Structures are given as C-alpha cells and as structure tokens.
Amino acid sequence: MIVSNGRGDLARRLTGLNSTQSDFSPVWALGFMSGTSLDAVDAAMILTDGERVLEFGPTAERTYTDQERTVLADAVGAARNWNWEGAEPVSCFQRACEVLTSTHEAAFQDILRQCDGDSKPEVVGIHGQTVLHRAPGRSVPGRTLQLLDQKNIAERFGLPIVFDFRTDDVAAGGQGAPLAPVYHQALCADRNKPVAVLNLGGVANLTLVSDTMILQGFDCGPANGPVDEWVERHKQGRYDRDGGFARSGSIDEARIAAWLNSDWFDQPLPKSLDRYDYNADLAEGLNFADGCATLTAFSAAAVAKGLSAFSESVREVVVCGGGRHNPFLMEQLEARCGVPIRTAEDAGWRGDSIEAEAFALLAVRHLRNLPISFPGTTGVRAPMTGGRTQYPVNVG
C-alpha cells in the first residue's frame, strides 16, 4: 500500500472504503489525539478494516512546549468565556490551530520515518483539540467544539483527513462522547468477557465489552484533570509524578462522599463531562498534599461508582491513558473497585496510543459508513456514523 500522488488517485483508491462488505481489504490508517491535559499530540498507525485490528504500526508523540501549551490553554480559556455566546474568539482559535498544525505535522513526519515497505498511511483520523463541550440537558442542546485546520493539514500530509467526529452525534441528540468504545470492542475480541476498559485522561471514561455485543460506555467522572490543575496552581509542576504528593497527604472521605452525591452522578447512562465540570476548586480549603490525595482518590471512587452502573459485573478493568502511570491512583482503583485492575500493557496493548489508534479505526469506519456512536455509548437514538473528510487539493 502506498501514498497516492493526487486527489483523483486517492479518491479512486478509497472508493472501496465506502462499503460494509465483510471482505473489505484492510488499510493502514493513522490516528491522532490531543487530549484535554494539553501535554502532547499522540499518533499511531494500525492496519484495520474498521472492525478488526490486524497489525500495529509505528507510534509517535510530540510533546507541547511551554509556549505551545500556553497558546492551547488560552484557547480553552477563551472558549469557556465565550461559551457559544457573542463573538467567537477567532484570533485565539487561529493561533491554537497553528500550533496544532505544526505539532501534528511533526508527529506525522516521525511516523513516516518509521514506516518501511508498503506500510505507509493511506487515510488519517484526527480528533482535533477539544476546547468546549456541553452535554445535552433538559433545556439546552448539546454542543461540542474541536479545533483543527483540516485543509492545511490535508495539504501538508497529502492524504485524506477524517475529522469532526462528534458533531453529528451531538446534533442527533447524543452526548458526542465517548467515541472510543467501538475500538475497545475490537481490542477485547479475545479477552474473557465481560471486561471494562477505563481511560484515565483529563476525564475518566468506561467501556463495557460483553458477549452480547451491545456496547455500553460513558464518562464516569474526573481523572487527571483536577489534580493536575491543583499541582499547577501550587506551582509544583504540571502533574503529581508517580502520585508522590497524593501519597504524602490524607484523603478527605467526607468530601468524596459529598461529591459523589452531586446530581451528575445520579444521571442515567450514558453521559459525558467537560474537562472543567469537575476541577481543582473542589479541593479549596485543603492543604496541598491532602488536596492531591483527595482529588486522586475521588477519581478512583467515581470509577467504582461507574462500574456499579453497568448492566453486568465485569471480570477485570483494563486501564489506559496517562493515569495508569500513577501508582497511587492504581492502588486506589484496586481498593475501591473490587475487581482485578490491569494496565493496558498487561493486556498486550499500547497504553499511550489507544486513543490515537481509536481515531485511526474511526476514520476507516467513517469511510465505510459504519457506525461510530451507539445508543449505549452516547445516547443517540440509533447507531450512526460521523465525521467529515477533507481531501488534499494539491498533491505530488
């Protein structure tokens, strides 16, 4: 498989993707993810037909510099202040898109350097940077915004870009998140089910994969976001490395119990969170170490509560995302969830690349017109596809 030399060739090559045939020929797909922690853009390649993962390709990570991270954080702040009312902060968003374009291109070039023979990407799925997300409520419709300059990136990559994966779901009344469950299902094909896949990013989300093939998934609470924010607020770095700060503090269980009694935790599944729906302000009044301990334990307690909401009891929880690197958080999960806790690596997966891999698979599903969101994952009424395709205009 090779990178095509023009839009016509690309379109002809990908014509077969618009098919739900079971004998569809797999392609090398490249996925990108930039999470709400604003630490890096991750890239990963997989060989997939949109339903199975047949082979894993190279991965890359482009860490944001302090300056780049500030630009992205400013865009998030501007988006929260705007909140879809009044004039959109166009210039701030444009600066963020410039950062996203240059960093995605750097990760793309890293991937290409690792490719050999025919194992080169043919299609790219890019999530973009979420700067604002509002779950649908009784009186307000859902909205979601991911920043990306897809036209510029398509030209630089010389490949079709699939993007904007969440908007159609939200417009149809869904939560717009989570979207990774269908990829988790592919990863769990050979595991002893039912199994839960837990992603610990800025927000925590759970997927239930069972033999019924009816996917369930939802955001179950905050993960790294509040404690990272708390550490930065106290000028102790960007995050609690190895959970050391949390381990030195005491957990305020009364606060955690009160937080778990908030209205959001009583809402029926599925549901989603914005990164700042639960934030570092929760720990106000606690000293630094106790704040770290309590916010971290809250994440684990929210996961335990989330597991109890599933229709089946799971045999194990497989943890991916940055939070799995925090031993204190992993210990809290083990203590509070009552089931074996495994890391993605224990399962033979690439724990730092799963979300990027997911958007590679979702790109192929989009081109094959296969669903990417489901009633049990986003609350949409019927399974539906999503995303848009941007072809490069000038290639070769």
237: left (phi over 0), alpha (psi -120 to 50) or beta: left
> Is 186 labeled as ligand-binding?
no
> Is 358 labeled as ligand-binding?
no
> Is 169 labeled as ligand-binding?
no
Q: Is the four-CA dihedral 99, 234, 285, 290 of positive or negative sign? A: positive
Question: Could you give the dihedral angle defined by the CA atoms of residues 24, 28, 29 and 33, in that order, rounded to the nearest 10 degrees?
Answer: 140
Residue carrying structure tokens 């409520």: 137
* Spatial distance between the Cα atoms of 242 and 389, rounded to a whole number of angstroms: 40
Query: DSSP character for 341?
Result: E
Residue carrying structure tokens 């865009």: 75
- Strand ordering across the sheet containing 195-200: 216-222, 203-209, 195-200, 317-320, 341-343
Tally of CB atoms within 10 A around 252: 20
317-320 and 341-343 strand pairing:
parallel
- Residue 120 in contact with residue 28, Cβ under 8 Å? yes
38: left (phi over 0), alpha (psi -120 to 50) or beta: left
> Is 308 labeled as ligand-binding?
no
* Spatial distance between the Cα atoms of 294 and 311, rounded to a whole number of angstroms: 29
Which uninterrupted H or E stretch holds 28?
strand 27-34
- Residue 294 in contact with residue 278, Cβ under 8 Å? no
> Is 40 labeled as ligand-binding?
yes
Of 79, 83, 100, 81, whose CA–CA distance to 163 is shortest? Answer: 100
Residue carrying structure tokens 């939560």: 175
Query: DSSP character for 380?
Result: -
> Is 137 labeled as ligand-binding?
no
> Is 318 labeled as ligand-binding?
no
> Is 70 labeled as ligand-binding?
no
* Spatial distance between the Cα atoms of 128 and 71, rounded to a whole number of angstroms: 15
* Spatial distance between the Cα atoms of 16 and 363, rounded to a whole number of angstroms: 14
User: Judging by beta carbons within 10 Å of its beta carbon (0-12, 13-18, 19+), is residue 74 exposed, middle or buried?
Assistant: middle
> Which residues are known binding-site members?
35-42
> Which residues are known binding-site members for ATP?
35-42
